Structure 1
């Protein structure tokens, strides 16, 4: 036999009341400090890329255009190496978006997933899981490139010149 209980009016929690109560326990974020960390770490990654590009241009006689691909490949290699040693995760914790936005962050997301799932095997573990996070970035990049190329082609058809 079910008994009816009176609901205490003080225990009635609305969504707004819950959010107000939960806000008291959330840590305050220092936006200025986080922005500064993202700025200088992201800038340092870009500076490293510039130094690598200048190295390829001076040592291997690449041009501005031909030095770009080996520079990106080198940055990706460094990022994956640092991810494997567990260093890039610490950089990411410190810098936030400053380490996630450059191509090194993309390489880190793929390498981290591959390392995490390697115990499940190469095909189902590494191959099946390494693009879970990065897959959406790849799809968005391909779709955005297609739309941009389509717009450019249509603009040339409308206004040749």
Structure 2
């Protein structure tokens, strides 16, 4: 590394604001945990009032969380929560809902087909693709193990 780039790197580190790493981790942990507690409350409500079982309650709970996230994003509330919590809102399934609806809102002026439809799944598309591919690989492995254990 040259002397000039070394001096610049030293200068950059001296003026860069220090991030409160521990504080940010605690906020992300608490908000992410609260989102999970809310999801568990939705699951429990579905099991109690709508007779879902533990095996069948996952999909409606996930869909409900994504729907609520999309509503909160549309009203600008989720972005304020995300500013406070950071990664605590990005990691759960709510981050997926936020990514989809944010792209749709951003490109709505370009029309429903070219704007919303064309851009809505740019970021979320990779999540869907790798989620489906991972599920396929796991199902294939499970099928092969079931086949070999039955021989």
TM-score by length of 2: 0.89
Distance 1:128 1:17 in 2: 45
Distance 2:8 2:81 in 1: 34
Which one of 59, 81, 94 corresponds to residue 49 of structure 2? 59
The answer to whether 1:26 aligns with 2:16 is: yes
- Choose between structure 1 and 2: higher helix proportion: 2
Q: Could you say if the C-alpha distance between residues 157 and 93 of structure 1 is closer, same or farther in structure 2, counting changes exceeding 3 Å?
A: same
Q: Could you say if the C-alpha distance between residues 151 and 61 of structure 1 is closer, same or farther in structure 2, counting changes exceeding 3 Å?
A: closer
Structure 1 residues 32-43: aligned runs within 5 Å: 32-43=22-33
| 1:44-102 per-position Cα deviation (integer Å, ceiling 9, x unaligned) | 11111111111111111221122222211111111000000000001111111110111
Q: CA RMSD in A?
A: 1.9
| 1:109-158 per-position Cα deviation (integer Å, ceiling 9, x unaligned) | 10000001000000110011111111121222122222222333333344
Distance 1:17 1:150 in 2: 54
The answer to whether 1:13 aligns with 2:23 is: no
Structure 1 residues 68-79: aligned runs within 5 Å: 68-79=58-69
Q: Is there any run of 5+ residues in structure 2 with no aligned partner, and where?
A: none
TM-score by length of 1: 0.84
